């Protein structure tokens, strides 16, 4: 009788449904509040119980309504989701490049294929129409109306958000903000403050805050300056504090969204204050102004060097998500990396024909079959996961902080954070064990305790140790490569607008702190 080989399988899936329910319960968000405009409460219950599969759009929106940045998660996309994500990239690219005719054509083609009840994608289309109308120089009324229509798709009772708090995603707050910016209300300054309060609610993470709070503050202060003749010293001081608070949120998250705009408006406020300041405060205000001017000059020169626009596109849809993988590529690359034939991977699970078609992108596997195949490859059967396999939101937040501490070279703090994190995660799960060993190796390398060659060898050992069953997202851009993600966490080889502010000196990369 032919012997059946036993291949290692990962039983430790990160349970997205459990995570969702845990956070919703911890933050006292009701089913009706979280489901608002997306689905019924009963449908959300099925999702939380793992009885109903959901696509990437719904996963992202639910996460963001609970204050978790989708950037913290990595995604395996099936054929439909990947095709949709790729098409949206083309639309965003056309708008960013100001190719209006291409944008209109792509938007019309995209809309023609949407289901009537696909509110999230219809909202995307309206938001993009709004961006195109701006580029065409359309009237403020026409632009505002476009955004109002987008808002009510997922916030049916939108007017209530100004006096009744409910969970909102960054994209939804952005759309509400756009209706204020382009609307004709004269007494809407308090609404900007309401949106700021939304962001300051306890459960939004640092990335979520950085993605929208600076933009709200920028437009709020821009409108405030229109009424500067009514300012007094208290108003000036408060506005400057609000501006500094927004910059603090960027610093906390390691982002630069609207940084140039905020520095410029900070200088404007300082100019106004210099006219009215007391003599004893003049020197400090003048010094603050000079510091802001110098930082602004450094940043603009850096953007020019990397040919990156100094000013932000208005819409938060342009903040691109990383670590998106097509299922067909992950199956093939992971299988080849582990040295498995298609026959070996399929044994006892499915036919070789089924796997072959999936790897070629001709069809999707049945969900339960796919989960077994992914488990055999040492991967979570979930379609979306964070780096750690956990349903503990605090552990995910701590991992995000740890990366910042290492990036800022705060090694003693990072070491303590890693030990604290170790006590909160299950190290019997191979992915978690690998994460911990990776961070330990990175800290030793950054502190000069091991050479670069030793560090690279440690990382290779981790990636290619099949018993540890390393997950596929250790490969950059879905390709086998010796450039490791752990190295990219430390050395930011690609300059990205709004995410990392860095400069290059020979082969070294230096991250500039926003001070």
| Element spanning 308, H or E | none
Measured CA to CA, the distance from residue 206 to residue 69 in angstroms comes to 8
Q: Beta 508-511 vs 502-505: how paired, if at all?
A: antiparallel
pLDDT digits (tens, 9 = 90+) for 104-151: 999 999 999 999 889 999 999 999 999 999 999 999 999 999 999 999
Q: Beta 74-77 vs 324-326: how paired, if at all?
A: parallel
Q: In whole numbers, what is the pLDDT of the chain averaged over residues?
A: 80
Domain ranges of the chain: 16-78+320-385, 114-318, 399-511
Q: Tell me the range of 13-27, 48-62, 349-363 where mean pLDDT is highest.
A: 349-363
Mean pLDDT of 1-15: 43
Cα–Cα nearest to 14, from 483, 514, 432: 432
Mean pLDDT of 65-82: 85
Q: Beta 384-385 vs 502-505: how paired, if at all?
A: unpaired
pLDDT for the residue numbered 110: 95
Q: With bands split at pLDDT 50, 70 and 90, how would you rate the model's confidence at 193? A: very high
pLDDT beyond 70 at 379: yes
pLDDT beyond 70 at 267: yes
Q: Which residues contact 399 (CB under 8 A, 6 or more apart)?
A: 386, 387, 388, 421, 435
pLDDT for the residue numbered 485: 35
Q: Tell me the range of 32-36, 79-83, 291-295, 303-307 where mean pLDDT is highest.
A: 32-36
Which of the two residues, 185 and 466, has the higher pLDDT score? Answer: 185
pLDDT beyond 80 at 445: yes
Distances from the Cα of 135 to the Cαs of 90, 94, 97, 145, 312, in angstroms? 17, 12, 11, 16, 14
Distances from the Cα of 208 to the Cαs of 38, 201, 204, in angstroms? 20, 11, 6
The percent of residues above 90 in pLDDT, for the chain, comes to 39
pLDDT for the residue numbered 413: 93
Which of the two residues, 430 and 125, has the higher pLDDT score? Answer: 125
Phi/psi for 75 (5° steps) reads -125, 135
Q: Look at 189-203, 264-278, 319-333 and tell me which has the smallest mean pLDDT.
A: 264-278
Q: Which residues contact 70 (CB under 8 A, 6 or more apart)?
A: 59, 60, 63, 64, 321
Q: Look at 199-213, 361-375, 428-442 and tell me which has the smallest mean pLDDT.
A: 428-442
Q: With bands split at pLDDT 50, 70 and 90, how would you rate the model's confidence at 2? A: very low
Instruction: Decide: helix, strand or coil at residue 77.
Output: strand
pLDDT for the residue numbered 435: 83
Distances from the Cα of 506 to the Cαs of 336, 436, 492, 503, in angstroms? 35, 31, 14, 10
pLDDT beyond 50 at 180: yes
pLDDT for the residue numbered 283: 59
pLDDT for the residue numbered 476: 27
Q: Look at 3-17, 194-208, 423-437 and tell me which has the smallest mean pLDDT.
A: 3-17
pLDDT digits (tens, 9 = 90+) for 223-262: 998 888 778 888 888 999 999 999 999 888 878 889 999 9
- Put the strands of the sheet holding 324-326 in their side by side order: 324-326, 74-77, 384-385
Mean pLDDT of 10-35: 80
pLDDT for the residue numbered 400: 79
In the structure encoding, which two tokens stand for residue 486, read together? 């752990």
Q: Look at 80-84, 263-267, 420-424, 510-514 and tell me which has the smallest mean pLDDT.
A: 510-514
Measured CA to CA, the distance from residue 57 to residue 69 in angstroms comes to 13
Yes or no: is domain 114-318 CATH 3.40.50?
no
Measured CA to CA, the distance from residue 325 to residue 77 in angstroms comes to 6
Measured CA to CA, the distance from residue 23 to residue 391 in angstroms comes to 9
pLDDT for the residue numbered 418: 93
Instruction: Decide: helix, strand or coil at residue 503.
Output: strand
Which of the two residues, 513 and 128, has the higher pLDDT score? Answer: 128
Cα–Cα nearest to 358, from 322, 334, 324, 386: 334
Bridge partners, residue 502, by sequence: 511
**16-78+320-385: CATH superfamily:** lambda repressor-like DNA-binding domains (1.10.260.40)
Q: With bands split at pLDDT 50, 70 and 90, how would you rate the model's confidence at 376? A: confident
pLDDT digits (tens, 9 = 90+) for 467-478: 333 332 222 233
Q: With bands split at pLDDT 50, 70 and 90, how would you rate the model's confidence at 53? A: confident
pLDDT for the residue numbered 463: 56
Q: Which residues contact 167 (CB under 8 A, 6 or more apart)?
A: 27, 29, 33, 34, 36, 65, 66, 67
pLDDT beyond 80 at 285: no
């Amino acid at each position: 009788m032919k012997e059946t080989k036993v291949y290692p399988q990962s039983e430790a899936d990160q349970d997205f449904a459990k995570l969702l329910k845990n956070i919703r319960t911890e933050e006292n968000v009701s089913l009706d509040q979280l489901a608002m405009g997306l689905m019924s409460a009963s449908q959300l219950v099925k999702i939380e119980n793992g009885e109903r599969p959901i696509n990437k759009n719904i996963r992202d929106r639910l996460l963001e309504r609970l204050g978790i940045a989708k950037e913290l998660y990595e995604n395996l996309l099936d054929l439909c989701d990947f095709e949709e994500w790729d098409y949206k990239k083309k639309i965003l690219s056309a708008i960013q490049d100001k190719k209006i005719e291409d944008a209109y054509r792509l938007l019309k083609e995209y809309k023609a294929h949407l289901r009537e009840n696909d509110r999230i994608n219809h909202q995307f289309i309206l938001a993009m129409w709004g961006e195109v109308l701006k580029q065409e120089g359309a009237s403020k009324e026409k632009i505002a109306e476009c955004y109002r229509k987008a808002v009510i798709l997922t916030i049916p009772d939108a007017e209530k958000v100004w006096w009744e708090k409910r969970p909102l995603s960054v994209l939804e707050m952005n759309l509400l903000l756009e209706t204020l910016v382009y609307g004709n209300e004269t007494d809407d300054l308090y609404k900007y403050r309401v949106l700021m309060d939304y962001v300051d609610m306890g459960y939004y993470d640092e990335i979520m805050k950085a993605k929208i709070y600076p933009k709200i503050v920028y437009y709020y202060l821009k409108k405030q300056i229109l009424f500067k003749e009514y300012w007094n010293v208290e108003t000036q001081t408060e506005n400057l504090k609000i501006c500094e608070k927004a910059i603090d949120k960027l610093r906390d998250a390691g982002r630069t969204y609207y940084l140039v705009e905020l520095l410029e408006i900070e200088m404007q406020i300082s100019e106004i204050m210099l006219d009215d300041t007391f003599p004893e405060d003049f020197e400090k205000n003048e010094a603050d102004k000079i510091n802001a001017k110098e930082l602004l000059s450094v940043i603009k020169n850096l953007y020019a060097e990397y040919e990156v626009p100094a000013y932000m596109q208005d819409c938060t849809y342009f903040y691109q998500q990383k670590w998106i993988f097509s299922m067909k590529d992950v199956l093939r690359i992971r299988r080849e990396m582990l040295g498995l034939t298609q026959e070996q991977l399929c044994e006892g699970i499915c036919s070789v024909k089924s796997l072959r078609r999936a790897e070629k992108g001709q069809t999707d596997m049945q969900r339960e079959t796919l989960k077994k195949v992914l488990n055999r490859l040492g991967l979570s059967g979930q379609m979306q996961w964070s780096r750690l396999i956990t349903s503990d939101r605090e552990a995910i937040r701590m991992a995000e902080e740890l990366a910042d501490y290492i990036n800022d070279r705060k090694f003693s703090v990072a070491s303590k954070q890693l030990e604290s994190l170790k006590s909160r995660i299950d190290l019997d799960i191979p992915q978690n064990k690998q994460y911990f060993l990776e961070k330990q190796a990175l800290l030793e390398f950054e502190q000069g305790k091991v050479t670069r060659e030793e560090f690279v060898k440690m990382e290779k050992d981790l990636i290619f140790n099949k018993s540890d069953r390393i997950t596929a997202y250790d490969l950059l851009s879905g390709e086998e490569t010796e450039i490791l993600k752990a190295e990219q966490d430390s050395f930011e080889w690609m300059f990205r607008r709004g995410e990392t502010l860095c400069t290059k000196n020979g082969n070294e990369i230096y991250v500039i702190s926003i001070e």
